[in-house]
Amino acid sequence: MSDNAESPTETQKEELHSPSENSATSEEKKKIDVLLKAVGDTPIMKTKKWAVDRGRTVQSLAQFISRFLKLDANEQLFIYVHQSFAPSPDQEVGVLFDCFGSDGKLVLHYCKSQAWG
Amino acid sequence: MKDGLRENFFTSRRRPAFVLDEEQFRRCCQLLLQRSDQLGDGWSWEAVQGSEEGYLRKTALRSVPSDWGPLHDQEGFSFHPQTLYDGSYTGTNSSSLVVQYEYHILFSCSYGAPVLYFRAFTLEGKSLALEEMWSTIHPNYRLRLQNFPLNAISQQEHPLLGQPFFFLHPCRTEEFMGLVLQAAQDQGRPVNYVLSWLSVVGPVVGLDVPLQYCTPLHSAVSLNSTKPD
C-alpha cells in the first residue's frame, strides 16, 4: 500500500476546516485539534493534525480520511479513541475531545481493514 | 496450552494473531457487565445450566426510518411520526418504525473470538426475516455488507438455544481486532477484547455502545485481563 499520501490541497483543507453553518453559537463554532495516528500498515497521513468542528461526526471524519487516503470501496476505515474503542459513527468529535482529549488535542487512531468478506 | 491471550505464528513477516480463549472471554464479559450495571446499559449474563459457559444478552428498542427499506409494506409494524433517529442520514421527516432487538454475545472456540447473534421483532412479536432485517441496517453500512454477503450477516441456529438468529460472521474479527490489539500492546495499554470488538461491530446492527464504557471511572474496574503474557 502506498504511504505517500499527498499534502492536502486547499480545497481539502477547507473541507475539514470549513466553518459551521450560520446560526451556531460561538461554543458550537469552536474547533478542536485532532491528531490522527495510523495503526498497522494503514497509510500515514502526511498532515496529521487537523482543526475540526466540534459538531463533526466520526462517520464524517472517517469518510474524509478514506477519501484522503484514496481507499478502495472494499476497504473499511476504523477510528478508535483510547486506542481500543470505536466510537459510534454519529458521535461528535467535540464530545470525544471532552472525554478523551489531553494537552489540548484529541488523539484518534485509524486503521483500514478489508471489509467483511 | 491455553494461557490467556496468546501469540501465534510470530514470525518477522506476520504479526502475531490475537486469539481469545473462553476464560478470557468470560472475564472480558464480566468487566463489560460491571460497567453496564453502573451505566444501566442493560446487559445480562445468561449462564448455561450447570456450567460456567454462557453469553451476554441485551434487548433494545430501535426506531428505524421507514424509508430505509420495505418494512413499511409489511403488516404488523407500528408507525409513529417522528424524525429520523440518525440526523446524519435524513430524507424527509418521514415516519419511523419501532423494532425490538435482542443481542447475544457468544464465544466461538473455532475462531477464538466473540460472535454477535441477534434477532429482531415487531412490537407485535413477529420476527423479522433476513430481507426485512437488511432494511434496518444503516445505509452507510449496507453497501459494504452487501458486497460480501457470505461473510457478513446470515442466519444460523443459535449454538446454545437452537433457535434461528442472525449473526455477524467472525471470520474477519481477528483481522481488525489484531491491528488494534497490536497497537495497544505496543503502547503497553490493556484492552478489553470484547468491549473493543463490540464497539466496532455493534453500530452496524444498531447496537449502541456508549462512550462511557471506556471513560475512566472512580472504581477498581481493571481492563488488564487481555494483556498478552
What is the CATH number for B152?
Answer: 3.30.1460.50
d(CA B173, CA B113): 7
pLDDT, tens only, B134-161:
778 877 676 666 655 445 788 899 999 9
DSSP state of A49: E
The answer, for A56 touching chain B at a CB cutoff of 8 Å, is: no
- 0.85 surpassed by complex ipTM: no
Mark whether B171 is an active-site residue. Answer: yes
Indicate whether this model's pTM tops 0.90.
Answer: no
pLDDT, tens only, B175-226:
788 888 888 888 888 889 999 999 989 988 889 899 999 886 543 333 333 4
Domain count, chain B: 1
For residue B82, tell me if it sits in a domain: no
C-alpha pair distances (Å), A115 with each of A10, A77, A112, B39, B147: 31, 9, 9, 31, 9
For residue B139, tell me if it sits in a domain: yes
For residue B90, tell me if it sits in a domain: no
Share above pLDDT 90 across residues of chain B, in percent, rounded to a whole number? 37
What's the CATH code, domain A31-111?
3.10.20.90
- DSSP strand E in chain A: where? 31-38, 49-53, 75-80, 105-114
Compute the average pLDDT of residues A70-89: 85
Residue with cell 415516519: B95
Helices (DSSP H) in A18-103: which residue ranges?
A: 26-29, 58-68, 93-100
Coil/strand/helix, residue A104: coil
> Residue B47's domain spans which residues?
22-65+96-214
- Which pLDDT does position B22 carry in this prediction? 93
d(CA A72, CA B181): 24
Coil/strand/helix, residue B124: coil
Is pLDDT above 70 for A78? yes
Closest CA to A16 of A42, A37, A43, A34: A34
For residue B78, tell me if it sits in a domain: no
For residue B194, tell me if it sits in a domain: yes
d(CA A5, CA B34): 43
B196 contacts in chain A (CB < 8 Å) = 84-86
Is pLDDT above 70 for B17? no
B154 contacts in chain A (CB < 8 Å) = none
Nearest neighbour of B152 by CB, restricted to A87, A113, A117: A117
